[in-house]
Amino acid sequence: MPQILVVGAGQSGLQLALGLQARGHRVTVVTDRSAERIRSGRVLSTQVMFDSARAHERALGLAHWDAEAPAVGGIGVSVADPGGGRALDWLGRLSAPAHSVDQRIKMAHWLEEFATRGGEVRVGAVTAEDLDALSAGYDLTVVAAGRGGLGGLFARDAARSTHDAPRRALAVAYVHGLAPRPEHPFPAVACNLVPGVGELFVIPTLTLTGPADILFLEGVPGGPLDVFDGVTDPGQHLELTRELMKRYLPWEWERARGAELTDAGGTLAGRFPPTVRHPVAVLPSGRPVLGMADVVVANDPITGQGANSAAKAAACYLAAIEERGDGPFDRAFMEAAFERFWDYARHVVRWTDAMLAPPPEHVREILGAAAGLPEVADRFANGFDDPADLAEWFLDPEGAAAYLDAARARRG
């Protein structure tokens, strides 16, 4: 049985490691933080896991929070008008519920589970120089963490990367006490769009202190939402979030007036350029290593695909390793494993790029039509679970026109 090294203890790294372990592979996980440090630290991300991504967790027996996490039943879309009201407001239903689980809970538990099952965990930062020596003892090294300069090992793929600078400034606050949306009959992600300014996503979640909500601002760089650089006090972060909600999204501010942070680690801010990288890096020794998930395909979180893509990358790599047989873990294997993932990820990249740009006329028509056509609202909502479907209509003007005509005819 080959020995496999996974560097990184996030969604993709731990899902892959636990999947390999369950199939009898000898796996070592290297992480810069222990389970306890993860659990007691700052929030790691926003995340909404849709059904097809959650299915990979269920298949591995890793979906431990189904009874506790809010069952997210839909995606709501609101578009702000210049007067502080809503030009559009509608709700699409998901075919199967989505869940959001604070990654501090999930990753700490999974890391402990991996160790309890007999997996080797090494805790410590790994530099690019360290990786060369460390990888010598393994048949395959998978890099699932870009911190510590490891992401820089993988060269940018200019042919597949649209951007070379951040397209949004990101600010996150986990809160208790958010009032429900009265027009939403079940828990739903609220996507609030402020043209030319940015977005606010409100996400029902499960955190360390129970059910909560995530207030997630995405601001156009240099614009009025891009004001969180240098804000280190969690309370100040939340108050600034509320001030911006009051100015641009008063319907969301009303229900956030009594909200409080879930914990002192419940805020996060930053930015990064959406980037696709080549999946194989060659170390000074000549050994190749394979990048996975957002190490090699980093999308802006505007489409909520980060954790979903990570789960699907882990599933693709697990299948590729299982199907390899006695073949070598060489560059050809690595590139083929990545291309298997890219067949899915390319749809996410295209959709995310489109959502970061001003909407073209056919997208504005779709968003308007969804307010009166539940079929259209539902199909858009389920595109978060299956981004490939969006290529057929949401991203194609002719496909959009044909679909809307048919949907209107069915509506009568």
pLDDT of residue 251: 97
Helix/strand/coil percent split, the chain, to 5 = 40, 25, 35
* CB contact at 8 A, 331 and 283: no
Helix (H, G, I), strand (E, B) or coil at 182: coil
Instruction: State in words which class domain 72-100+166-270 has.
Output: alpha beta
Mean pLDDT of 319-331: 94
Q: How far is the C-alpha of 35 from the C-alpha of 21, rounded, in Å? A: 18
- How do beta strands 288-291 and 140-143 pair? parallel
Phi, psi of 275 (to 5 degrees): -145, 140
* CA dihedral sign, ordered 11, 14, 16, 18: negative
Q: What are phi and psi of 210, to 5 degrees?
A: 110, -170
Average pLDDT over residues 41-66: 97
Which residues, 6+ apart, have CB-to-CB distance to 122 below 8 Å?
28, 29, 30, 31
Is the confidence at residue 146, as pLDDT, over 80? no
SS3 49: strand
Q: What is the pLDDT of residues 63-77, one digit of tens each?
A: 999 999 999 999 999
- State yes or no: pLDDT of 122 exceeds 80: yes
Return the pLDDT at 148. 66
pLDDT at 343 > cutoff 90: yes
Q: 99, 96, 60, 111: which is closest to 207 by C-alpha?
A: 99
Q: What is the pLDDT of residue 325?
A: 86
With 80 as the cut, is the pLDDT of residue 181 above it?
yes
| pLDDT at residue 211, rounded to an integer | 98
Written as six digits, the tokens of 370 are: 């969804």
pLDDT for residue 147 is more than 80: no
The partner residues of 28 in beta bridges, in order of sequence, read: 5, 120
The alpha carbon dihedral of 44, 46, 48, 53 has a sign of: negative
Residue 412, pLDDT above cutoff 90:
no
The pLDDT tens digits of the residues spanning 246-287 come to: 999 999 999 999 999 999 999 999 999 999 999 999 999 999
Q: What is the mean pLDDT of residues 43-67?
A: 97
For residues 221-238, average pLDDT: 98
307 pLDDT above the threshold of 80: yes
Rounded CA-CA distance 6/143 in Å is 6
State the pLDDT at residue 149.
Answer: 79
pLDDT digits (tens, 9 = 90+) for 375-408: 999 999 999 999 999 999 999 999 999 999 999 9
Per cent of the chain over pLDDT 70 is: 100
Pick the CATH number of 3-44+53-62+102-163+274-355 from 1.25.60.10, 3.40.50.2300, 3.40.50.150, 3.50.50.60: 3.50.50.60
Contact 14, 29 (CB under 8 A): yes
DSSP letter assigned to residue 110: H
* DSSP string across 207-274: ETTEEEEEEEEEE-TTSTT---TT---HHHHHHHHHHHHHHH-HHHHHHHTT-EESSTT-EEEE----
Residue range 150-176, pLDDT digits in tens: 989 999 999 999 999 999 999 999 999
Indicate where the chain has its CATH 3.50.50.60 domain(s).
3-44+53-62+102-163+274-355
Angle at the Cα of 322 from the Cα atoms of 318 and 328, rounded to 5 degrees:
105
Rounded CA separation 374/388 (Å): 20
- Output b/e per residue, 307-318; b: 16+ Cβ within 10 A: bbbbbbbbbbbb
* Nearest partner of 296 among 275, 312, 281, judged by Cα: 275
Query: Which ranges in the chain are annotated with CATH 3.30.9.40?
Result: 72-100+166-270
